[in-house]
Structure 1
Amino acid sequence: MIEKRALKTLEFDKVRLQVAGFCTSSIGKIAIEELVPETELNTVIDLLEEMDEGLSILRVKGNVPMGGIFDIRPHAKRAQIGGMLSPMELMEISSTIRASRILRNFIEDIEAEEAIEIPHFIDRKEQLPVLTPLQHEINDCIDENGGVLDSASTALRSIRQSLRAEEAKVRQKLESLIRGSNAAKMLSDAIITIRNDRFVIPVKQEYRGHYGGIVHDQSSSGQTLFIEPDAVVQANNEVQRLKVKEQAEIERILLELSVKVQEVAHDLFVLVGLLGEIDVILAKAKYGQANKCTMPKMNNEGYTRLVRARHPLLSIEEAVPNTIEFGREITAIVITGPNTGGKTVTLKTVGLCTLMAQAGLPVPALDGSELAVFQQIFADIGDEQSIEQSLSTFSSHMVNIVDILAKFDEGSLVLFDELGAGTDPQEGAALAISILDEVVGRGARVMATTHYPELKAYGYNRPSVVNASVEFDVETLSPTYRLLIGVPGRSNAFEISKRLGLSSSIIDQAKSFTGTDRHEVESMIASLEESRLRSEKEADEAHALLQEAQALRAGLEERLRAYEDKKEQLEKKAKDKARKIVDEAKRESEKIIAELREMRKNASQAVKEHELIDAKKRLDEAAPKENKVLQKAVAQRERAQNLKVGDEVKVLSYGQKGTILEKVSAHEWVVGIGILKMKLEESDLQYIKPEKEPVTRTMANVKNRNSHVKLELDLRGERYEDALLRTEKYLDDALLANYPRVSIIHGKGTGALRQGIQSFLKGHKRVKSFRYGEAGEGGFGVTVVELK
């Protein structure tokens, strides 16, 4: 256990007092007052992890319901030994049980949300005893103000009803007296009051015999007597009897409840202990939140690294943060320089932060800080001159140092303030060097302050020791309180004197009295300090640029992620939309196939199976794809030769096949799609390679031109003779392709071409019949021919 002397010297009690201010119950405050640093690494880590869980809960939830908790341990103790608890004590027990139930539900809600991990809080929640039945029993008998309810028992309700009835009778009789014809003359005041728990009226002295009865009191002047008239004596006696009976019943109820408390007294002790622990953890977390503290990493190697640490007892606005690191290669820091520069504050910052971390408290430093768990912390700080013991300052310090040297080991942190002060400077410096050698040589971690110039070279002669100083601004003649590791302090007496107006001749003469070596050392220190400031400034600028670059990179990465997410969403949306269109087209194709099958049933052999297959193939090809831009690119890659008039192509924007009829420009073509002619861009066309024409078995020398013969012949704009020649050739090709039905488009016009074609069809031996097209087939502009 850490010695109490160090806790007092480093003012750990003041930190505890600040933390206690964040407790919500007296239980937590008592526990904080008894808080001491631990010396086992695992214990310290557990304490800090508990506190960090509390910080997480506060960040997520804002607050924790801890109201209504009382220190009920004395009540449970008295119940254990058979004592009767008061209604207020029972109410405090009920309130504490209720608070534990609310807290348990709160932790269970966080556990269910799985937003944060709080294993330590969950473990304590599971240990909380469930005493809800006792809470309900107390609430059934005691109200929130500590009064015993009528419903506490049937007997109590009956007694109180009788009591209220008797009191009403007494009041009624007394009111009749104070309203009598002579009452205004004989009474000091027309009121009913109570003396000695009995109802009385104020009667003037000279009329005391008029009402008879018992005198219970008189006024200070003696002119008024408080008399209980004979008329109400018996009624008052009955009231008193009922009150005694009421009190006896209340005591019986309270004893009965006290016995029930006695049965669960042990659970109540456990409950209070756990609630106190949770209150302490949350108080630590609230303290850390209010003071911008962080949880340090802990080690067992004596290594300390505080990043921009502040003194815990100074306000955030006043404290100057410093980064302090030692404990591995460097085991000792010697801070030199003039007084009032902040050396002692630095010393206390390290010691107090170490004590706080070992007590499970967050430390006022930035993330990335690391502290060691020390078995002992020794501190010789401040002027502890003892008048009682007739000891000088030097003697008082030496008593402490002798005690420290007798107790410390390699697992200790030793803090010396103004080591060797209070005696002859030369001897004091020699003693300081010897003491530091002893402590450093035995492996302890040391921080010491001194204003002896002889110790400035101490860090240069020993590999495990580093010099440090606190920066002093000569311009403002005040310390900046910034710690400079690696730079020893230097005297600023000459500079300060010059700034204050001391003659230059006097200063030059003073300098001549100092040795050349001293002057060179001071110049070296000044140069080191200037280099240090320059390097720190450059480091700060580089750090600022790095942060700016990191922020820029993070912003760009965030924008890239947002772009990729948006792109993925749009692609998915487009694919879903395309898939719906495709599905709709397929459903339509199936519907058409079903209609064609129905037509074949109704028209016997009029529609053949290969027509159904061809129709489905055309419908499938007409189905839209997910990415037309990709189709265009594929079409460009797959085109084996340049397009020319007569090529069959697929129009990507419509998903239909067509034939190139005419070239308009370098990149535009006129394409025929059925009876339509359209001018289209070349990029919207996909060349379709003709299928190989297989040789039929029955006609070895005749090619099947099924893939080249369309189901319709367009004669619009043709001359009559040419139209008849094309019709004849087309019917031969259709018969070779084994088409059962074809359509001849002749248009409406004057009707001459239509009549000529139909006359030709009547005389053709392979024409079974012909008819005009239906409304959906082109009407009178088309003739549908059935072939044999």
Structure 2
Amino acid sequence: MIAERALKTLEYEKIIEQVANYCTNSIGKSTIEQLKPETTLEEVNRLLDEMDEGLAILRLRSNVPLGGIFDIRPSARRAQIGGVLSPSELMEISSTIRASRIFREFIEEIMIDEDLEIPYFEEKKEQLPILTGLQHEINSCIDDNAHVTDSASSALRTIRQQLRMQEGRVRERLASLTRGTNAAKMLSDSIITIRNDRFVIPVKAEYRSHYGGVVHDQSSSGQTLYIEPDSVVQANNEIHSLKVKEKAEIDRILGVLSGMVQEVAHELFVMVQVLGQIDVILAKAKYGQANKCSKPTMNADGYIKLTAARHPLLDRDIAVANNIEFGREFTAIVITGPNTGGKTVTLKTVGLCTLMAQSGIPVPALDGSELAVFDQLFADIGDEQSIEQSLSTFSSHMVNIVDILKKFDENSLVLFDELGAGTDPQEGAALAISILDEVHGRGARVMATTHYPELKAYGFNRPAVVNASVEFDVETLSPTYRLLIGVPGRSNAFEISKRLGLPEHIIETSRSYTGTETHEVESMIASLEESRLKSEKDAEESARLLEEARILQADLDARLKEYDELKEQLEAKAKEKAKKIVEEAKREAESVIDELHKMQMNAHKVVKEHEIIEARKRLEDAAPAENKVLKKQRQIQERAQQLQKGDEVKVTTYGQKGVLIEKASDHEWVVQMGILKMKLDEADLEYIKPEKVKESVNVTNVRGREAVKLELDLRGERYEDALYRTEKYIDDALLSNYHRVSIIHGKGTGALRKGVQDLLKRHPRVKSYHFGEASEGGFGVTIAELK
């Protein structure tokens, strides 16, 4: 447990006061006043994780419902021993139960809506007792103004109804008296009032005998008497009797409700305790938000690394942030420097940040900071900053140091301010070195400040000890409050004196009086400071270049993202455009086929050859341009034989077959297509392999000079070519007015058969299809019925 003296020396209670200001109720404030630093790594991590969960909740929902909570523990204790609670006490209990239920529902909602994992708050939620039944019982009997309602019991309702009726009768009687012929003369005022819980009228003193009855009060002048006339005495007695009954019934109702509270008193104590813990956790998180604090990483190795740490009790806009690291390569820091330079503030910053972290409070440092969990923390810090130190002050510090030396161990953090000060410099320096050797030698983490020049070399003569100093600007003759680890404090007396106007020859004479060792130490310090300044300049330049590289990287990432988005947009547009082209081509093809079919079906009209060719040309033109180019390239590449005179060819431009008559030029042929002769480019011609004349009974239909067979043999064809031929064959068969055709695809792997049948399934002019009979080829042949 951390010693109370250290908590007081480091002003830990002021931190607690600041955090308590963020509590929403008295329970949280009383809970946080008892908060002390924990000394186990597991418990400290739990406190910090709870705070971090609270911070996550506040980032999502700035307003956490914790209103309407009261410290109901005294009322619950009184109910435990049989006491009867007042309506206001019962309403506070009801309000607290209601607040507990609302908070429980809030946690459930945020876990679902925000998909937030908050195991510690979920655990707190589960710890909250569910006492909704007691809340409803109280609310059914007592209203928001802490009055017992008529509906609390049927007896109370009846009593109050009778009471209101009786009061009405009394008021009517008294009202008739105030309206009498002589009322204006005999009454001070025509009103009905109450004295001693009785209805009365204000009568002038000289007319007292006229009304008779009982005098309950008089005015300060004695001129007015408040009289209860004889005519209403009995009625008022009945009202009083009813009020006694009303009070007895109310006391009975409150007794019953208090008995219910007595039964769940333990649960109420738990509820108040958990709600107080929740309020404290959220107060820590709010404090961290308001003061730009962060959650440090904790360890049990005595390692401290604070990045841009500020003293938590100083104005954060004024306090200088410092980087402080020790506990691994070196476990002791000796800080030297001028008075009011910030040495004591540095010690308190480390001490307070350690206490805050071990209490689950975020620390005023940047993310990535790390602190250790210590079993004990000792601080010998005096606020005296004057040059003159009395013997009593030295004695007081030494008594504290003696106590520290008795209690500390290897898992302690020890802070010494102006170690050895207040006595003879030589003796003080020797004591300081001995004390540091003792504390450091026994494994404790130690930070010490000193004025003694002898300690400037301490860090160079001891392992795991480092010198540090607070920076002093000779130009402005003021401290910068920056901590410089690794550089001992440099004496600035000569430089300051020179800038203040002390003659040069006096300064030089002074230098001659200082020893050689002092000169060497000062030169070493000056060299270290020069190296530090150069390193800082190099670091700033590196940081600048790194920032430029980061900005460039971000710009490149943005451009790449923009390129990817544009690429996706263009691809989507291209696909949409291609889809529209294909759909348009399909519509045009359907139109051409329908037109040809109508022409063929028209019995009295002869279809001419050139009309057939023009229709084929329209079909070709309907195909998307990209597909036609690819098809032409593939056809040219797949041409395996040199064209010769007399070869049968397919004219791809018109979709018609023809015979080569003669070669017109290097790349052109004269082609006979039906009755037409045309000069065509070799790229538009596709060689057709002659088919063997089959001896089977193949019925053909002759149109002009072109014969369309009743069957199409696709065996040996490539998949794409076979489908292309099938589609053209169906068109030819329709033009030839065939109603039934056979497509021979063979059995093989079944891929070609499936492709052919899928094409027939989609074709609008195919009525149905089925496999051939055994005599027709079975599963190797598909029979298509055309319409």
TM-score computed with the length of structure 2 as normaliser:
0.78
- Partner residue in 2 for 1:445: 445
Question: What is the aligned partner in structure 1 of residue 770 from structure 2?
Answer: none
Q: SS in structure 2 opposite 1:363? A: coil
With over 3 angstroms needed to count, the CA separation of the structure-2 counterparts of 1:600 and 1:517, relative to structure 1, is same
For 1:335 and 1:197, locate their aligned partners in 2 and report how far apart those are by CA, in whole Å. Answer: 79
Cα distance 1:563–1:505, how it changes in 2: closer, same or farther (>3 A)? same
SS at 1:239 equivalent: helix
Amino acid at match of 2:499: R
When the two chains are superposed, the root-mean-square deviation of aligned CA atoms in Å is 4.5
**Residue pair 2:600, 2:735 contacting (<8 A) in 1 also:** no
Counterpart CA distance in 2 for 1:568 and 1:630 is: 25
- Contact 2:650–2:657 under 8 Å retained in 1: yes
Corresponding residue of 1:690: 687
CA contact (8 A) 2:639 2:687 kept: no
Q: Report the residue type matching 1:696 in the other structure.
A: V
Alignment partners' CA distance in 2, 1:164 and 1:524:
99
Measured after TM superposition, the shift of residue 623 of structure 1 is 5.6
**In the superposition, relative to structure 1, how do residues 285 and 616 fare at CA in structure 2: closer, same or farther (>3 Å)?**
farther
> Are the counterparts in 2 of residues 47 and 360 from structure 1 also a CA contact under 8 Å?
yes
- Note the C-alpha offset of 1:487: 0.8
Structure 2 CA distance for aligned equivalents of residues 630 and 417 of structure 1? 90
For 2:304, the aligned partner's letter is T
> Does the CA contact (< 8 Å) of 1:296 and 1:371 recur in 2?
yes
Aligned match of 1:195: 195
Percent sequence identity over matched residues? 70
Tell me if structure 2 keeps the 8 A contact 1:384–1:397.
no
8 Å contact 1:409–1:444 — kept in the other structure?
yes
Tell me if the contact between 1:177 and 1:183 (Cα under 8 Å) persists in the aligned partners. Answer: yes
What is the aligned partner in structure 1 of residue 277 from structure 2? 277
1:237 and 2:229 equivalent?
Answer: no
Q: 1:217 to 1:580 in 2, by over 3 A?
A: same
Distance 1:533 1:698, change over 3 A: same
How far has the Cα of 1:492 moved from its partner?
2.0
Match of 1:534 in 2: 534
Q: Where do residues 166-565 of structure 1 align in structure 2 (5 Å cutoff)?
A: 166-383=166-383, 392-565=392-565
- 1:64 equivalent to 2:75? Answer no
Q: Between Structure 1 and Structure 2, how many residues are aligned?
A: 686
Q: Secondary structure at the match of 1:392?
A: helix
Deviation by residue 1:328-376 (Cα, 9 ceiling, x = unmatched): 1110111001110000111011110011111111111111101111111
Instruction: Provide the rounded CA distance (Å) in 1 between the counterparts of 2:479 and 2:226.
Output: 79
The offset of 1:84, in angstroms, is: 1.1
Structure 1 residues 638 and 508: CA distance shift in structure 2, 3 A: farther
Task: Identify the residue that residue 785 of structure 1 maps to in structure 2.
Answer: none
639 and 530 in structure 1: CA distance in 2 versus 1, 3 angstrom threshold:
farther
- The Cα offsets for residues 561-580 of structure 1, whole Å up to 9 and x where unpaired, read as 34324434543564466457
The separation in 2 between residues aligned to 1:474 and 1:163, in whole angstroms, is 90
| Superposed counterparts of 1:639-658, under 5 Å | none
Alignment gaps of 5+ in structure 1: 608-614, 661-672, 675-681, 700-705, 712-737, 744-788
2-structure distance, mates of 1:150, 1:58: 43
- 1:152 is matched with 152
| 8 Å Cα contact 1:384/1:393 also seen in 2 | no
**Could you tell me how far 1:709 is from its partner in structure 2?**
7.6
Answer whether contact 1:379 1:416 (CA < 8 A) is retained: yes
Letter in 2 for 1:490: R
Task: Report the AA paired with residue 396 of structure 2.
Answer: S
Amino acid aligned to 1:513: Y
Measured against aligned partners, the alpha-carbon deviations of 1:98-122 in whole angstroms (never above 9, x if no partner) come to 1111111111112213533211111
Quick one: structure 1 residues 740 and 36, their matched pair in 2 at CA, closer, same or farther if it must change by over 3 Å?
closer
Q: Name the CA shift for 1:51/1:577 in 2 (closer, same or farther; >3 Å).
A: farther
Alignment-derived partner of residue 669 in structure 1:
none
Equivalent position of 2:84 in the other structure: 84
Residue matched to 1:734 = none
Whole-angstrom CA distance in 2 between matches of 1:482 and 1:460: 22
Cα deviation, residue 511, structure 1: 2.8
Structure 1 pair 550/739, CA: closer, same or farther in 2 (3 Å)? closer
- The structural deviation recorded for 1:131 is 1.4
In structure 2, the gaps of 5 or more residues are: 608-614, 661-672, 675-680, 697-702, 709-731, 738-787
Question: Structure 2: how far apart are the matches of 1:128 and 1:587?
Answer: 71
1:632 touches 1:686 (CA, 8 Å); kept in 2? no
Contact 2:418–2:450 (CA<8 Å) still a contact in 1?
yes
**8 A contact 2:616–2:655 mirrored in 1:** no
Structure 1 contact 647–687 (Cα < 8 Å) conserved: no
TM-score (norm 1): 0.78
SS in 2 for 1:334: strand
CA shift in 2, pair 1:403/1:583, >3 Å: farther
Structure 2 CA distance for partners of 1:403 and 1:499, relative to 1, 3 Å: same
Residue 203 of structure 1 and its aligned partner are, at CA, apart by: 2.9
Give the direction of change, closer, same or farther, for the CA distance of 1:198–1:301 in structure 2 (3 Å limit): same
2:334/2:448 contact within 8 Å kept: yes
Output the CA distance in 1 between the equivalents of 2:119 and 2:619: 64
Give the CA deviation at 1:89.
1.1
Residues 637 and 417 of structure 1: is their aligned pair in 2 closer, same or farther, counting only changes over 3 Å? farther
* Greater Cα shift, 685-694 or 499-508: 685-694
Query: Is the 8 Å Cα contact of residues 193 and 201 (structure 2) preserved in structure 1?
Result: yes
Deviation at 1:229, TM superposition (A): 2.2
- Could you say which residue in structure 2 is the equivalent of 1:143? 143
Q: How many Å separate the matches in 2 of 1:469 and 1:647?
A: 99
Secondary structure (helix, strand or coil) at the match of 1:470 reads strand
